[in-house]
């Protein structure tokens, strides 16, 4: 038990890094998807 | 002390536990990315796309039994999915601007006028789910038809505009439908060749992502919020003096003023830019390819097969064109060529529940008025015709049906 806890404690910085980077990427991806949605207006002329 | 890149790497490893250094670590990070996107959809939900968000439903269709289901042209959700009401007779009506009647101070719809002639079918009030896609092309009609069939309407009506039906240079105008309809189309291997021709890897990825992640599916709503935020940060535009007419730009100056590629292709389109306005539609129609080599043929065939296999009573009709245009023998010959080709495709894809009216409605109907080659301003004759065709086809498909158009009144 102590050995396991020590293992987890040792790896905690790694897990935290993965989580934070993952969440930041998620926010950036959602922002990028929203930013790249087209804004083509309906151009009725000639249709 | 930092002396080189190795020292930097060692520092990062000490502080951040060598995160992302191993493949398993990268995998865990990707899992957090997916979890994060899911959480964003939960914690910052986008407004749902409903019928009330569609402009036509707010005013023009408010007091009718017809609702437009098509969302903004940039919205990857494509359409509203409306739950079927078993107490109503539901007609799915699919078409482009040719199912509208537009004149000064009036914006009408052929499906609305048909419901006034056919208020009840089989003892139930008629309700129309209208898939109105202005400037639609044949692939857009195919996509909307797939979605309409998924909703299992009691009847389906499809308007085919002869101008674009077999034009190989303009097959799709609503690419936002691709992710929305991929899930429906991919289950039938018969659709795979067409999907391979029109869908990009981005469409596939966004369709897969959007089916499970609200933040991906509702990105148009997020984009609208983002745009309004950014617009508030923009400086106020200069006031324009209404008395001063801005110079009409041409050539390179015109191209330089365009904000997106779409504006370029709209100005420099498939026909010479100096084609008179009155000759544009006939010029587009003249580009129809009816030798069997156009992708359009596959799309039309797949559409008819999809409709026929559904066994839902259906009518696919070629919309009317202005009879004045047919005074030009070349225009009339082109239309006949298109009608004949559609008839041949329909002949190879015939089903008992599907009626394909391959000849343009102008051959059967008189008294229509138009503002150009295809857009009507006075529709009672076509409403009479379609009401009769709908009832006839319904009775042919379901002999016990009760369907009878009411007489036309002076106001309708």
What are the C-alpha distances in Å from B65 to residues B127, B153, B351, B401, B412? Answer: 5, 15, 29, 20, 16
pLDDT for residue B144:
96
Give yes or no for residue B255 having a pLDDT over 60: yes
Can you list the alpha helix ranges (DSSP code H) found in B84-176? 110-117, 138-150
Residue B411 predicted with pLDDT over 60: no
Q: What is the pLDDT of residue B356?
A: 98
pLDDT in tens, B108-157: 999 999 999 999 999 999 999 999 998 899 999 999 999 999 999 999 99
Task: Name the band, by pLDDT with cuts 50, 70 and 90, for residue A2.
Answer: low
pLDDT value, residue B204: 94
Facing residue for B134 by CB, picked from A25, A33, A44: A44
Q: For residue B398, count CB atoms less than 10 angstroms from its CB and return exposed for 0-12, middle for 13-18, buried for 19 or more.
A: middle
Contacts of B379 (CB under 8 A, 6+ apart): B101, B108, B110, B113, B368
Joined together, the tokens standing for residue B268 give: 């420099």
Reported ipTM: 0.83
The residue in chain A having the minimum alpha-carbon distance to the alpha carbon of residue B20 is: A18
pLDDT band at B249 (very low <50, low <70, confident <90, very high): confident
- pLDDT at position B194 is 93
Q: Are B293 and B334 in contact (CB under 8 A)?
A: no
Burial bucket for residue B176 (CB in 10 Å: 0-12, 13-18, 19+): buried
Least confidently predicted of B42-56, B126-140, B237-251: B237-251
pLDDT at B357: 97
Place of tokens 């379609």: B386
Compute the average pLDDT of residues B232-258. 74
Residue A42: is its pLDDT beyond 60? no
Tell me the count of A-B CB pairs closer than 8 A.
116
How far is it between the farthest Cα atoms of chain B? Answer: 93
- pLDDT of A28 reads 95
Residue B4 has pLDDT above 90, yes or no: no
Would you mind telling me the total number of residues written for chain B in this entry?
412
For B89, counting Cβ atoms within 10 Å of its Cβ (0-12 exposed, 13-18 middle, 19+ buried), the class is: buried
Distance CA B268, CA B254 (A): 11
Give percent above pLDDT 70 in chain B.
94
Measure the CA–CA gap between B150 and B185, rounded to whole angstroms. 10
pLDDT, average across residues B405-411:
79
CA B206 vs. chain centroid, Å, equals 19
Please answer whether residues B171 and B165 qualify as being in contact, where contact means their C-beta atoms are separated by less than 8 angstroms: no
Residues 1-30 of A with CB under 8 A from B: 10-19, 21-23, 25-27, 29-30
Within 13 A of B379's CA, how many CA atoms are on the CB side? 26
B219 touches chain A (CB under 8 A): yes
Q: B184 and B146 in contact (C-beta within 8 Å)?
A: yes
Instruction: Give yes or no for a contact between B82 and B51, defined as CB atoms under 8 angstroms apart.
Output: yes
Contact B368, B377 (CB under 8 A): no
Q: What is the pLDDT of residue B261?
A: 66
- For the whole model, what pTM was predicted? 0.88
Mean pLDDT rounded to a whole number for chain B: 90
Lowest mean pLDDT among A21-25, B169-173, B191-195, B386-390: B169-173
Q: What is the DSSP letter of B82?
A: P
Say what the alpha-carbon torsion angle B78, B83, B87, B92 is, to the nearest 10 degrees: 20
What pLDDT, in 10s, does the model give residues B326-352?
999 999 999 999 999 999 999 999 999
Name the nearest CA neighbour of B143 among B154, B153, B158: B158
Residue B209 has pLDDT above 70, yes or no: yes
Q: Give B87-102 pLDDT, tens digit per residue.
A: 999 999 999 999 999 8
Would you call B29 and A25 a contact, using CB atoms and an 8 Å cutoff?
A: yes
Bridge partners of B92, per DSSP, are B129, B156
- Interface probe for B, chosen from A12, A15, A21 (most Cβ of B below 10 Å), is A21
Q: State which residue of chain B sits closest to A45, comparing Cα positions.
A: B266
Tell me whether A42 touches chain B (CB under 8 Å): yes
Looking at every residue in chain A, the average pLDDT score rounds to 78
C-alpha separations of B77 from A29, B214, B294 in Å? 18, 11, 29
A46 — pLDDT class (breaks 50, 70, 90): very low
Using the beta-carbon criterion (under 8 Å), do B135 and A42 form an inter-chain contact? yes
Res. B36: pLDDT tops 90: yes
pLDDT for position B161: 97
pLDDT at A45: 39
Whether chain A has a CB inside 8 Å of the CB on B74: the answer is yes
Least CB-CB distance to B20: which of A16, A18, A38?
A18
């Amino acid at each position: 038990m102590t050995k396991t806890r020590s293992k987890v404690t040792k790896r905690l910085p790694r897990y935290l890094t993965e989580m934070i980077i993952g969440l930041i990427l998620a926010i950036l991806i959602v922002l990028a998807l929203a930013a790249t949605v087209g804004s083509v207006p309906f151009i009725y002329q000639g249709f | 002390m930092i002396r080189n890149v190795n020292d930097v790497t060692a520092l990062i490893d000490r502080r951040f536990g060598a995160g992302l250094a191993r493949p398993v670590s990268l995998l865990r990070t990707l899992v957090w990315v997916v979890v994060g996107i899911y959480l964003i959809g939960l914690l910052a939900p986008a407004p749902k796309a409903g019928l009330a968000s569609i402009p036509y439903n707010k005013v023009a269709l408010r007091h009718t039994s017809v609702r437009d289901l098509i969302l903004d042209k940039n919205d990857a959700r494509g359409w509203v999915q409306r739950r079927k009401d078993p107490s109503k007779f539901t007609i799915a009506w699919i078409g482009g601007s040719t199912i509208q009647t537009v004149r000064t101070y009036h914006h009408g719809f052929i499906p609305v006028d048909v419901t006034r002639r056919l208020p009840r079918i089989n003892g139930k009030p008629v309700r129309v789910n209208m898939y109105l896609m202005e400037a639609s092309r044949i692939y857009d009609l195919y996509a909307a038809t797939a979605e309409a069939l998924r909703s299992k309407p009691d009847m389906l009506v499809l308007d085919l505009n002869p101008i674009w039906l077999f034009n190989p240079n303009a097959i799709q105008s609503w690419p936002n439908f691709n992710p929305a309809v991929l899930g429906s189309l991919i289950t039938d291997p018969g659709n795979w060749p067409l999907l391979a021709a029109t869908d990009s890897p981005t469409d596939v990825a966004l369709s897969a992502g959007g089916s499970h992640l609200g933040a991906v599916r509702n990105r148009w709503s997020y984009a609208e919020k983002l745009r309004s935020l950014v617009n508030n940060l923009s400086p106020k535009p200069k006031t324009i003096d209404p008395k001063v007419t801005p110079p009409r730009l041409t050539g390179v100056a015109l191209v330089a003023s365009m904000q997106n590629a779409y504006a370029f292709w709209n100005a420099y389109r498939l026909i010479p830019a100096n084609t008179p306005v009155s000759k544009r539609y006939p010029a587009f129609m003249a580009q129809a390819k009816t030798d069997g080599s156009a992708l359009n043929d596959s799309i039309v065939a797949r559409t008819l097969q999809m409709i026929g296999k559904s066994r839902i009573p259906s009518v696919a009709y070629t919309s009317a064109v202005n009879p004045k245009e047919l005074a030009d023998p070349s225009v009339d010959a082109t239309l006949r060529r298109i009608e004949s080709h559609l008839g041949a495709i329909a002949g190879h894809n015939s089903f008992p529940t599907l009626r394909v009216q391959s000849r343009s409605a102008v051959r059967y109907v008189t008294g229509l008025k138009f503002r150009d080659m295809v857009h009507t301003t006075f529709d009672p004759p076509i409403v009479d015709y379609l009401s009769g065709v709908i009832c006839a086809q319904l009775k042919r498909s379901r002999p016990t049906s009760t369907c009878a158009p009411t007489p036309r009144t002076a106001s309708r």
